[in-house]
A and B are shown apart, each in its own frame.
Chain A
Amino acid sequence: MNRNPEILQHALHNEEVCNYLDLNRDFSDWIITTSFYTSLHFVSYKIFPIAVKSKEQKGKQVKMEDIYQYQNFMNLRTISRHKILGELTWKHCPQIASEYSRLLDLSMNARYINYRQPVEVAILSRSLMSKIKTYCAN
């Protein structure tokens, strides 16, 4: 199935922002955030479209183009899309699922620490993003 180049472009666009922020490491919190959202789009580019079993025709498959379609079709509206994509990453990209989960946690759990994140955490985020890009964008 053909991947959507728009998703890849979105990932590359976010990566440029992350690179720009990295010129001045006073904004570690935003480096972490942009690392995550860049990786989210790289992972989405790698995973989608996904073929799932049709509910109406036995033996047939239906193509899900993105996480929104997937969430609606699988009736997962009570579960967050971040969690759904995390699960899909373990299923379809296990080689970088640990990296992606770690970035997801860095971004989502920052609220419990402080916006003044150590620069080492920002460096880690970019390293994780780089590994995800290498796996997903090729």
Chain B
Amino acid sequence: MKTTIKNNPAEFPGKWEKSEEAFTGNELIDAYLKGKEAGKDEEKRIMRRRLHDNIYHATEVSETLFNRVTHQNITLHSIHLKADSVSDYTALFVADLDDYLSDNFRLVYILANELKNEAQREHFTIYFSFTHNSPNPANDRLIADGFFLKYE
């Protein structure tokens, strides 16, 4: 087992010398700090990778739902996506008002819940939300609330 010894030759007893395999306290501290920095860099790399993969997955799943819903003859105008965290996403779908008001729209929520559960995995959750179109949409509020991607 490697051991640490004080890095002060004056403190070494006369007949003792530092082994090649041993490391000093300062070397131990340096190694700890480098390891900590390397660990942080690695963590950042993992998080960046996860964010990239999750955004891609969120857009893919949202498009899947868009297609499933429009296949039911319901008109969707756009999707807005935001990241609540690296792992949690919200996709807001804008539907045509007449379709939104119809009894048939009930099915859209069932489809959305099914796909949400299908898409769920470790470090990834997506919530689907719906609204209707409007002659005066408040796009500034969408952006202010973090919706950074739009699909039309």
Contact = CB atoms under 8 A, between A and B. Distances in A.
- Secondary structure type dominating chain A contacts: helix
A54 B29 CA distance: 43
B106 A109 contact: no
A113 B83 CA distance: 21
Contact of A101 (B109, B132, B138): B109
Interface residues of B, number: 24
- Secondary structure type dominating chain B contacts: mixed
A113 B129 contact: no
Give the size category of A's interface with B. Answer: 20 to 34
Given A83-B127, A90-B113, A98-B106, A124 B101 contact: yes
A112 B134 CA distance: 9
A121 B106 contact: no
Nearest to B92: A109
A118 B110 CA distance: 25
Contacts of A98: 106-107, 109-110, 113
Given A105-B130, A118-B97, A112 B109 contact: no
A108 B138 contact: no
Given A102-B106, A111-B141, A113-B132, 15 more contacts: A97-B113, A98-B110, A101-B112, A102-B105, A102-B109, A105-B130, A111-B138, A112-B92, A112-B137, A113-B134, A113-B137, A113-B138, A114-B138, A120-B97, A124-B101
11 contacts: A79-B88, A98-B109, A101-B112, A102-B106, A109-B92, A112-B137, A112-B138, A113-B132, A118-B97, A121-B132, A124-B101
